[in-house]
Amino acid sequence: RIQILFEKHRCNKSMPTRWTTLCQIIVNIAMTLYLHTCMFIVLVEADKICYFPGRGKAACTNDTAGLSGCSFRTVRGFVKQVCEYQGRRVIKCPYAEVYYQVRDRDGTGTTAQTHTTICPHDPQSYQVCGLVNPSKHKFGTFHLCEHFVCKGISFAAFLFDNESGNFVSGMVQCNDREDCLGGVDEAGCGWVKEHDPIRCIPNRNYIPRSKVCNGIYDCAGKNDELESCNHPTGLVCDTNYQKGIWVHPAFICSLYSNNVPCLNGENKANCSDYTGGRMCQYGYSQARYIKPYQMCHPTIGKDFLDYAVCTDGRDQLNCSDVALSCLMDGYPTNVSRWGTCRHYQLCDDNFDDACYLVEHDCNLHKHQLCDKQFDCPGRVDELNSICEELTQVSCVRRAHFNKRESLPIPNRWLCDGVWDCEDGTDEDMSRWKICGTDRTKIRCKEHHDRCRELFKCPNTRKKFAELSALCNYIEDCRGEKLICRQSRQLAYVFDKAVVYQSRTILSVTCLPGVHGNSDCITTPYKSRKERLLGVASLNLTYQPSKTSCKYVYGELYVLKACSELCQDASCPIKPLSYSACPYLKNRAITLVGGINESHNLTIVERIEKIKGYSDRLFECDNGHCIPYKQVCNLANDCGDSSDERDCVNNFKCHSSDYFIALSAICDGRMDCNDSSDECNELCTCTIIESYVLKITTWIFGVTATFINLVLIIRKAYALREIRTKASLYNGLFVISISTGDMCVGVYLLGISVANAVFSGGRFCVNRYTWLNSTSCVVLGILSSFGSLLSLFTMTLLSLYRCYSLKNVFASRSLTRSGVAGIAFLVTALLFSALFISIIPVLPNYEDYFLNGIYYEENPLFVDAPSKNRHIMILEAYYGRLTHRLLSWQVIRELIADMFTRDIHGVYGSDRSFYGNSGVCMFKYFVKRSDPQHVFSLVILALNTLLCILIAFSYTAIYILSRGGISKDRQSHTLERKISLIILTDSLSWIPFTLLCLLHYLEIFDGTPHYELFSLLIIPVNSVINPLIYDDIVSYVVMTTYRKFKGHVISHTRHEGVSTSTNVGGPRTQWINMKAITSPDRSTSN
């Protein structure tokens, strides 16, 4: 110990000498005190067994030879260590080697009235007395608990007289005579003279007025709850013991009449006179008549059925204390509160037994729920799940318990076949919206509510579950967690720590055989920093360094956080008082080690599997208690979210009590039905993220649409004057290119408008509304059609111009066959581009192109699951499938069969080929798992090949034309245009093709760059093409540019800034080059 303290306080040689000496002195003093304390503990904890050798005095001995069979048990609600000693049951004192015995009035030891000694570590005698607020009295060698000293039990209470060895009557408290040893029976009776108490019958002791009519029998004769509480039942007579004793109604004209020998025999007289009486049943087969003063006797608190007047409850009919009204044998009848929830089945419809076990020892009628009054100790009657959904309509309930108040109707009571309202409002079908059928149970809702289908639990024909209860980590249906794990890809929650050789291991690196586990330490874990009687110590093995607990769950999270091993989490466990968890089935009270006046009792749970007790309990705000593995595990196990509220490892969806892992935030998948995991202050999404792209999209869209429209009109007008075949080819090809480019411009304008409509975070919430819309599909078709038509026509035009240099068609005039040929060629181009663009959205080909199906407000599905994900869900629900090659139509039907079809069934909206991103473009970025990857790669390869062909064609044109073109301005113009054609094609399609290939091979994720290519790089040809293929458009644009530039320079000169730029001069002559614009010689000059 000295060495440990020495090291702990760092009394080492590195310290200065004066500090080392002082440190050692302090340590020596501490060790001296420690040794004296140990000696005191040894003296106190010396073996001592105090027991009753007979019916006389208690005896104590240090002979423990006969001690055996010690085990922890629950005795009278308390954890006690019970042993056997010479055939007697003795109990070990908490944290001491002292044993005591308890004894009742008949010497059997079954009722703790007296005990042989006071435990050293339990001065309040909590464990011994079995009370949370005991008061003890000592008589000789005996120690008695307050509630067994001069306190009535039924009609008699007893006190063991140590001197005589007999039991003395205890019905003598405050009777101005010392009947108990030491005058304990008269102790504390001085307040009688100062207050206005009432006197109990029959023992004449006094109780304060505050205890009258409080629902608890404080008098042995129970007159404190009868005489002035509007329950005048029973009678009063004189006995040999005392005058004016009150007779319980059950002791009148019954088998128990002899127990109360009234001198005048009134309790046994006139039993054959049935005037005004009523017949009822007592016991299993006996029938009896009861008199009027035997009716409506209150059965208050725990005294119920001590002595029942009628075992069928007919004594509780038509009383002044009306709880509910119903028909009994066809006649209207009132039932008192003492006749409800007793399994009497008095009402024809059993309405008196329509009760719920809300919590342990709290059985309430259903109409006592959600009534704005707390009827259970834990107040859980107002936090019940039934109270979560209330209608806006109110009514007076049939069971009003003398409180005729109009209260809201819980939704679950609507159309359930039971009249809960006095006027039948809850069952009036005309007042509610009808949902469901007889098979799935008719459900009623308010007219503003929405009817929804139910989930059919697998492997059963009767069980259904609300959609709102699915995939919340709480299994409402068998197999639900497996289905949700496949559908929502739920995070696998490790909610228990690893157990190895009775040690709980908190770190995987501390497992045996794992490299680097030499730094792990093992220490006992005490959740409340103190010992608990009956609870074995939990040995934790972990690395001493702190780590993040954001991805730790359940028991592992609690143990790490409460052991101060988390960098970012505090302990979520609160100390449990002895009154906590009242509903817990195996609940027991135990003593906390050490003397702590503020909190020295707590509760534990007996675990039958280990035959021991566990204190690993979390108390919810609503009074429920759950084990550690259900705390901070992403599931609302408490029902009020208090088990997840203070955890750092979850994200709560805004509009529900659904919790998701932190890794699911901002991951591109909508895990929350309200999209709050993707639409929050940390992240959001829009159709166009970049402000630069937003501006360029508007500019490119307007420019491409306007310029190409002008070019189409001009070229179409010029077709009337064409006389040669070459001019017709050139004109129609340019119109076709401009048509495609104008479609791309319209697409850019449409995306810009949609981005403006869904701005301000609206796209994030309505993402699938846009992706699955017809507008997105139409814009996607326009984009693909325009790009393909322009590219196909540019390829043909480049090939034709290259071929025209041989002068094959130059001198031929127009003919019908020539016109028909060019018309067929242009039509083929249009239909080819249109077919490729439309085929992905045709229903017959959905198995190859459909990306997924989106199910709105269905928590079973997240985002829009793909076909493979759907098949995994179906296998989890139906079992193993015969084959996995299912069509989308079969999948839709199988998914619909998982739900009811009472309204419209569960059918989602298709996420089409063009709905893969907000820009609605052709799906070029594909992976091997995508069903359309072959189609997309073929089209991508075709586009790339055409771009290469265009580049080679114009290179050939330039090479073949160099000999016939002068080396002046014409040559330079031809070089510029050919270079521009090759450059734009190369910069747009070649990088895009490489990126698509890298994405397909999963080397690089190209998804973040999809907007850049679809809105800027690929559409750039739609703006540049008019400048290349038409000199007039090029001239107008360049003239406008030069004028703008000259205006800027002139303004600069006017401001006094000198410049050497010369912007004057004659207008530049634009030469219509034969090889670029028109292969017709007659027009090239």
Structure tokens at 592: 């906390």
Contact predicate 466/455, CB 8 Å: yes
Say how far apart CA 770 and CA 616 lie, in whole Å: 49
Which residue, among 552, 576, 584, 582, has the nearest Cα to 566 in the 3D structure? 552
Task: Report helix, strand or coil for 839.
Answer: helix
Q: What is the mean pLDDT of residues 485-504?
A: 78
**For position 182, what pLDDT does the model report?**
44
Say how far apart CA 415 and CA 400 lie, in whole Å: 20
Beta 67-75 vs 78-85: how paired, if at all? Answer: antiparallel
Beta 650-652 vs 659-661: how paired, if at all? Answer: antiparallel
Q: Which amino acid is at 893?
A: E
Say how far apart CA 215 and CA 1001 lie, in whole Å: 78
Q: What is the pLDDT of residues 318-364, one digit of tens each?
A: 888 888 989 998 888 999 888 888 888 889 988 999 988 876 667 88
Comparing 438 with 395, the larger pLDDT belongs to 395
Whole-Å CA distances, 782 to 749, 750, 775, 834: 11, 10, 11, 9
Highest mean pLDDT among 105-114, 240-249, 977-986: 977-986
User: What single string gives the DSSP state of each residue in 367-386?
Assistant: GGTTSSS--STT-GGGSSGG
Rg over alpha carbons for the chain, rounded to the nearest Å, is 46
Q: Show Cβ contacts of residue 966 under 8 Å, excluding neighbours closer than 6 positions.
A: none
Comparing 148 with 733, the larger pLDDT belongs to 733
Say how far apart CA 157 and CA 169 lie, in whole Å: 6
Contact predicate 510/556, CB 8 Å: no
Q: What is the pLDDT of residues 1010-1042, one digit of tens each?
A: 888 888 888 887 888 777 766 666 666 667 656
Q: Please report, rounded to a whole number, the percentage of residues in the chain having pLDDT higher than 70.
A: 70
Highest mean pLDDT among 147-161, 377-391, 706-720, 837-851: 837-851
Q: Show Cβ contacts of residue 551 under 8 Å, excluding neighbours closer than 6 positions.
A: 649, 661, 662, 663
**For position 309, what pLDDT does the model report?**
79
Q: Which amino acid is at 272?
A: S
Alpha carbon 266 to its chain centroid, in Å, reads 65
Task: Report helix, strand or coil for 970.
Answer: helix
pLDDT band at 210 (very low <50, low <70, confident <90, very high): low
**For position 747, what pLDDT does the model report?**
95
Task: Report helix, strand or coil for 35.
Answer: helix
Whole-Å CA distances, 356 to 367, 380, 962: 10, 12, 98
**For position 748, what pLDDT does the model report?**
94
Beta 503-505 vs 538-542: how paired, if at all? Answer: parallel
Weakest mean pLDDT among 394-408, 807-821, 851-865 = 807-821
Q: What is the mean pLDDT of residues 264-274?
A: 73
- The pTM assigned to this predicted structure is 0.65
Convert 241-250 to b/e letters by CB count within 10 Å (16 or more is b): eeeebbbbbb
**For position 668, what pLDDT does the model report?**
77
Say how far apart CA 771 and CA 803 lie, in whole Å: 45
**For position 206, what pLDDT does the model report?**
65
Element (H, E) at 830: helix 816-838
**For position 632, what pLDDT does the model report?**
92
By CB atoms closer than 10 A (0-12, 13-18, 19+), residue 736 is: buried
C-alpha dihedral, 1063 to 1069 to 1070 to 1074, nearest 10°: -150
Neighbours of 791 (CB within 10 A): 22
Q: Please report, rounded to a whole number, the percentage of residues in the chain having pLDDT higher than 90.
A: 11
Number of H helices, E strands in the chain: 21, 41
Residue 768 confidence (pLDDT) above 50: yes
The neighbouring-strand residues paired with 953 are none
Weakest mean pLDDT among 383-387, 673-677, 770-774, 1075-1079 = 1075-1079
The whole-chain average pLDDT of the chain stands at 75
Q: What is the mean pLDDT of residues 262-277?
A: 72
pLDDT band at 648 (very low <50, low <70, confident <90, very high): very high
Contact predicate 878/458, CB 8 Å: yes
**For position 809, what pLDDT does the model report?**
45
**For position 299, what pLDDT does the model report?**
65
**For position 378, what pLDDT does the model report?**
63
Round to the nearest angstrom and report the end-to-end CA distance of the chain: 112
Residue 969 confidence (pLDDT) above 50: yes
Q: What is the mean pLDDT of residues 98-118?
A: 60
Q: What is the pLDDT of residues 423-456, one digit of tens each?
A: 889 988 888 888 877 666 677 888 777 788 888 8
Residue 43 confidence (pLDDT) above 50: no
**For position 39, what pLDDT does the model report?**
29
Comparing 284 with 1063, the larger pLDDT belongs to 284
Say how far apart CA 732 and CA 738 lie, in whole Å: 10
User: What single string gives the DSSP state of each residue in 96-151?
Assistant: SSEEE-EE-TTSSSSS-SEES---TT-TT-HHHHT-SS--EEEETTEEEEGGGSS-
Residue 169 confidence (pLDDT) above 60: no
Structure tokens at 439: 């098979």
Highest mean pLDDT among 120-124, 220-224, 229-233, 554-558: 554-558
Say how far apart CA 930 and CA 866 lie, in whole Å: 9
Contact predicate 225/231, CB 8 Å: yes
Residue 262 confidence (pLDDT) above 70: yes
Structure tokens at 362: 């709290």
Greatest CA separation for the chain: 147
Structure tokens at 6: 């020495």
Beta strands in 650-729 (DSSP E): 650-652, 659-661
Q: What is the mean pLDDT of residues 299-314?
A: 63
Structure tokens at 134: 């005991």
